[in-house]
Amino acid sequence: MLSKEKILQKILRRLAEGILKKQQPRIVAITGSVGKTTTKEMVARVLAKDFKVGKSEKNYNNEIGIPLAIIGVSGEKKNWWQWLGVLGRAFRWLLFSKGYPEILVLELAADKPGDIKYFCEFIPVEVGILTTLGISHLEKFKNKKAIFQEKSYLLKQTKGLAIYNGDNISSSKLENIVTAKKVSFGLEGKDLSAIIAKIGYNYKKRNVLAGMIFKFDYKGKLLPGKVKNLSGRPYLYGIAPALVVAEYFGVNLVEALKSLEDFPAIPGHMSLLSGIKNTVIMDDTYNSAPASVREALRVIKEVRAGRKIVVLGDMLELGLEEEKAHRKVGAEVAEMKEVVLVAVGERMKGAVQMFKNIRQKEGWENLKEEVYWLENSREAGRLVQKVMKEGDLILVKGSQGMRMERVVEEIMAEPKRKEELLVRQNKDWR
């Protein structure tokens, strides 16, 4: 017997399928392990000036959230009256065309085998984007190859243009499975390559982020750009595919770059916040995986600050790679100078041990003042509040289940703005 959720899923899929056939919007679909939400938001923004654009909201990217995005409503939990409103809106689009988006930008989750195939059965993808791949959700996949096969299925089903992170994915692996035109993006030697010219940052001032200046090399032309509110390589991996999409749909690339200048940092996605004691918080608490931790650490290594406090929660759903991945993170933090590691959760004990092993071999003293382990994020928040000093840069990151935004809530300078600035602040999460 089908559960209520399965019945709802089937109904929503049928409605979404009918709407797509009636309205025939052009569809840009995005999947990957890291950077999906940022890429989705940037793609939607560069297209919004010239087209009526619809998109999936927040991280509602599953079997229920995607049909709701196609209907044009959010994926938040609803009561019976709200569901009646959803049905009413769906039937409107099934009967009338006026006002429906010309382009839909959809973020597709691939948490288990078969997810992408499920979406592609009823969503005709014109442009597919594959962001950075990692080993998140490895518990539900056999190995890294299985993750690649699952998520690259999107590009296999793409009809118009397949865009992928060439720094992370070999073009040879896509050669025989992708028939659409392919464009790679990355930091060096790809179809579209990015160069960071300058990262502006001042941890002593209240306005902590001065932005980033960069250049893109695309088809032999240099495209200079800048963003006021963003910093670090991860954001370039969102800007690059957005530019490729812009060109595909005939949007002027100079105008596309200009539309991203004021792009706001997405809560929990490498957003910089003011902390108490005149500190800066790099809030990357939306989720965590080895690839995204590596990118976050790379960014803070490049930033000049008085001292760095790295607060890391467990990375979940890594399967057999779990122990190795956490120990590797500990080793990467140990390589940094003037750093304090605050580890949260059972799995992070491996990171702590590796950090200690490396520091002891190098003859570091006062190790107790450089590494801490806490059971949960509430305890970690109180600990960080005690050890942080003026001028510190504090990175906070962890998987969703670790609720690391609670650490940020404890140490942010403007806690009254938490619903605006932090992830997972709705009633269901709290």
Is residue 102 domain-shared with residue 172, that is, in the same domain?
yes
Percentages helix, strand, coil for the chain, rounded to the nearest 5? 40, 20, 35
CATH number for the domain harbouring residue 115: 3.40.1190.10
CATH number for the domain harbouring residue 394: 3.90.190.20
Total domain count, the chain: 2
Does a structural domain hold residue 212? no
The pLDDT assigned to 23 comes to 97
The pLDDT assigned to 206 comes to 44
Q: Rounded distance, CA 430 to CA 418, Å?
A: 12
Is residue 284 domain-shared with residue 341, that is, in the same domain?
yes
Reported for 152-157, long-range contacts at CB under 8 A and 24+ positions apart, including other chains, are: 152/177, 152/178, 153/116, 153/117, 153/120, 154/29, 154/31, 154/108, 154/116, 154/120, 154/125, 154/128, 154/130, 155/128, 155/130, 155/180, 155/182, 157/120, 157/125, 157/128
Q: Rounded distance, CA 409 to CA 68, Å?
A: 31
* Alpha helices (runs of H) in 49-133, residue ranges in sequence order: 65-71, 80-95, 115-120
The pLDDT assigned to 364 comes to 65
* Alpha helices (runs of H) in 270-399, residue ranges in sequence order: 290-302, 322-334, 349-361, 377-387
Residue type, 332: E
Closest Cα to residue 313, out of 339, 279, 352, 280? 352
Positive or negative, the CA dihedral 72, 19, 67, 289 is: negative
- Containing structural domain, residue 399: 271-421
Is residue 327 domain-shared with residue 410, that is, in the same domain?
yes
Is residue 251 domain-shared with residue 311, that is, in the same domain?
no
**CA atoms within 13 Å, Cβ hemisphere of 252:** 5
Q: Rounded distance, CA 388 to CA 407, Å?
A: 12
Does a structural domain hold residue 204? no
φ, ψ for residue 15 (rounded to 5)? -65, -45
φ, ψ for residue 305 (rounded to 5)? -150, 160
User: Residues near 149 by Cβ (< 8 Å), separated by ≥ 6?
Assistant: none
Q: Mark the ranges of the chain whose per-residue pLDDT is less than 50.
A: 203-204, 206-207
pTM: 0.84
Is residue 160 domain-shared with residue 281, that is, in the same domain?
no
Tokens of 169: 């994915």
DSSP 132: B
Is residue 123 domain-shared with residue 72, that is, in the same domain?
yes
Does a structural domain hold residue 134? yes
Is residue 127 domain-shared with residue 81, that is, in the same domain?
yes
